Structure 1
């Protein structure tokens, strides 16, 4: 009796998901084009390529544009490692809510891996160094340099290589992406203190945004 009832619920679940999915963009506050513009401005203000100063100028611009309540300051103690899809880098959360996250991510040492398959669009604006991307069937990689934006539509996957830093925006069902960021800890790194920091900071940001009405 259980499985027939479950099958009968599937159409209802599908239409419920479709309806809720169509509502997601109403809750977005970040504009990918504006983020790229702010990133390019911060890069232009620092022609020597000083990443620390680029971060500072960019975060100032983001907080001025979107409000201090939606964009965190960057503190040294808030950085942590991220291992996902075989790639490793350092990141800091600028914003995390149920429908969006905005982070600084990268490594000057170089890394490469799988993008993961997600129910969210991903916008990756290069701040320093370069990123290369290879989709299945490509014979040559696409190359993204400082100021360029790499958009990975939801439901698509790619191989990527990054040597530098980027501003990353994800928009969609953000909670469904978290397992991708956690599983490497359980299967390889066993860096549980870093996992705890990841969960703690992500949770604090999401709850904080909910409390001010940002889904």
Structure 2
């Protein structure tokens, strides 16, 4: 994998964690620091990726095999990397992404029960060593998140899963954060939004300063 010049920031979290509001906040922080930001999401980010997103999140294929789901995620990711993420990073831009491969470990690994080594093999093949430089994990109790998500919109194919599924997702996210604590920072997303963003601002300011002046 070629050395990239920009930085890759991802935001992860379960249902109702407040990613949309906080992604906009992070984007503003980056742009206020004079950085050129490419904002994108997974699954999606490209025309093909958005079509795959519709397949994954819609209810047309509710009986989708878990291996099919996983490989569709990585197919969208391969296109995303080739078309959006790598060109932006190589041009010196900062990429801010709503979810990335940590979500595959959490949802398809933890939630669906796919062996983590199989996900790792796909990660190595598709990403060739590329990982986010910084990941913010918005964490909150499952009940709180599902209650928030239920007030927001019609549930997608993942949001109708059972409580135990989301407990496994959350547990896997926290395992990732504890194992890779230099990259992944846990944000308490159960507190009021202003307090969530205070946590985010402190981490982002430190990261930005280190990258620009370190």
Is the shorter-chain TM-score for this pair beyond 0.5, marking a shared fold? no
* Structure with greater proportional helix content: 2
Please report the TM-score for the alignment, with normalisation by the length of structure 2: 0.30
TM-score (normalised: structure 1): 0.30
Say which structure, 1 or 2, has more relative contact order (CA 8 Å, 6+ apart).
2
